[in-house]
């Protein structure tokens, strides 16, 4: 009898152990943070708005990653063009929402060693760094140059705006075109010049849920936060309101 009781107890404990190991909590998926693919210019403000698992890069690069099968819940683009690419590729669930605006400025190192006077002919012959044309800040740069009758000859074209800023603050470039929010974040490390007309034709920022999102509920909640209470933090960081 004692032996039978011991065997029964052992089997009961084993069954309990198996049940505990294989039965997931029904709320586990809901507790996982949203996976957010976001434009590089959002790399400071988004984490201040909400907790998530972030991947920051140039908007065009993020679209390429999503096309390649990368898992994400949310995509936030620094322009409509790249969000449209994601929509056209059937990567977005529902309609994207505009949540902010931003505009280009010209920055130099704080001491402006090349003696640049603004977004003008003083850029000729300098080490100018810009974003690549397929990145939102690069497309905006080309538009600004055309509007102001300038032919720019950059020494480097970067995949994301934060790399442009990094080369300027490191003294590797005489000047760079970045967003106003990036320049504000750099503080006294840079001297800032307005780009004529840029404020009147800003980049628009868009956000949407990725089709097949692993955590759609958290994606919904993240977007609601960005378009709701997060607007105050976006404004504090220098972003303009949606228009």
pLDDT digits (tens, 9 = 90+) for 192-207: 999 999 999 999 999 9
Q: What CATH class has 33-102+203-236?
A: alpha beta
Q: How many Cβ atoms are within 10 Å of 70's Cβ, its own excluded?
A: 13
For residue 30, what pLDDT band results from cuts at 50, 70 and 90?
low
Give 41-55 pLDDT, tens digit per residue.
999 999 999 999 999
Cβ pair 126, 100 in contact under 8 A: no
Closest listed residue to residue 71, CA positions, set 28, 42, 33, 35: 35
**Which string of b and e fits 80-94 if b means at least 16 CB within 10 Å?**
bbbbebbbeeebbee
Structural fold of domain 104-194:
D-Maltodextrin-Binding Protein; domain 2 (3.40.190)
Task: Cite the residue boundaries of each domain of the chain with CATH code 3.40.190.10.
Answer: 33-102+203-236, 104-194
Asked whether residue 16 carries a pLDDT value surpassing 50, the answer given is no
DSSP 79-117: SHHHHHHHHHTT-EEEEEEEEEEE-EEEEEETT-TT---
* pLDDT value at 3 more than 50: no
Q: Which pLDDT belongs to residue 32?
A: 86
Report how far residue 171's alpha carbon sits from residue 149's, in angstroms, rounded to the nearest whole number: 27
Q: Which phi-psi region, left, alpha or beta, contains residue 130 (left: φ > 0; alpha: ψ -120 to 50)?
A: beta
DSSP state of 51: -
Quick check: 25 pLDDT over 50? no
pTM: 0.84
Contacts of 237 (CB under 8 A, 6+ apart): 44, 45, 48, 181, 184, 185
Q: Which of 24-28, 99-103, 116-120 has the lowest mean pLDDT?
A: 24-28
* Those residues with Cβ within 8 angstroms of residue 166's Cβ, 6 or more apart along the chain or in another chain: none
3-state secondary structure (DSSP) of residue 148 = coil
Q: How far apart are CA 50 and CA 173, in angstroms?
A: 34
């Amino acid at each position: 009898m004692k032996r039978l009781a011991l065997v029964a107890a052992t089997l009961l404990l084993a069954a309990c152990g198996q049940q505990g190991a294989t039965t997931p909590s029904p709320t586990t998926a809901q507790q996982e943070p949203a996976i957010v693919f976001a434009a590089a210019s959002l790399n400071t403000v988004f984490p201040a708005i909400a907790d998530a698992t972030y991947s920051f890069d140039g908007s065009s690069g993020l679209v390429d990653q999503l096309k390649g099968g990368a898992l994400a819940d949310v995509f936030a683009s620094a322009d409509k063009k790249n969000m449209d690419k994601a929509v056209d590729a059937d990567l977005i669930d529902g309609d994207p929402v505009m949540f902010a605006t931003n505009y280009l400025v010209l920055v130099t190192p704080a001491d402006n060693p090349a003696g640049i006077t603004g977004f003008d002919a003083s850029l000729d012959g300098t080490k100018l760094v810009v974003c690549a044309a397929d990145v939102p800040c690069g497309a905006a740069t080309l538009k600004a140059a055309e509007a102001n009758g300038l032919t720019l000859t950059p020494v480097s074209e970067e995949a994301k705006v934060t790399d442009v800023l990094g080369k300027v603050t490191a003294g590797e470039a005489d000047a760079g075109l970045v967003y106003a929010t990036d320049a504000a974040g750099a503080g006294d490390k840079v001297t800032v010049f307005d780009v004529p007309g840029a404020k009147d034709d800003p980049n628009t920022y868009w956000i949407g849920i990725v089709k097949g999102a692993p955590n759609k509920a958290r994606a919904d909640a993240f977007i609601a936060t960005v378009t709701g209470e997060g607007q105050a933090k976006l404004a504090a960081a220098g972003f303009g309101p949606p228009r």
